[in-house]
Amino acid sequence: MVMRTNKEITKEVQRRIAELREQKTKRKGRIYAAVSVAACIVLVVGLAVALPNIVPDTSPESLDMYNATLLAGSGAGGYVLIGVIGFVLGVVVTLLFSKIKKDK
């Protein structure tokens, strides 16, 4: 049996505390990642499902007041909106993870 000095014991305890803190930080990061991804998916899918009720009818007959719209005749406005929202959510998640990584 090897006897350790108080310095060695203290050093080992501090190393173990640092290891446990690192594991806890990694676990928190994984939880934040999972929650962020789930929230983004729910938001995008929810908007995609609700969008037909939110965006007004884009048939050519109903576009009298939308004459200046770029996508007037295509009905793709909803898809563009979902794309923009998806891009913004991607940027937000990227910034969130950058901050989490920087805080480590």
Higher pLDDT, 52 or 11: 11
- Return the H-helix or E-strand segment holding 81: helix 77-103
Which residues fall within 8 angstroms of residue 71, CB to CB, at 6 or more apart? 58, 77, 80
Question: What's residue 11's pLDDT?
Answer: 94
Block residue for tokens 């007037």: 72
56 confidence band (pLDDT: 50, 70, 90): low
**How does pLDDT run across 1-21, given as a tens digit for each residue?**
677 888 999 999 999 999 999
Higher pLDDT, 104 or 80: 80
Does this model's pTM top 0.75? My answer is no
Question: Which of 46-57 are b and which e, b meaning 16 or more Cβ less than 10 Å from the residue's Cβ?
Answer: eeeeeeeeeeee
* DSSP state string for 87-99: HHHHHHHHHHHHH
pLDDT of 63 over the 70 cut: no
Largest CA distance in the chain: 90
**How does pLDDT run across 80-96, given as a tens digit for each residue?**
777 888 888 888 888 88
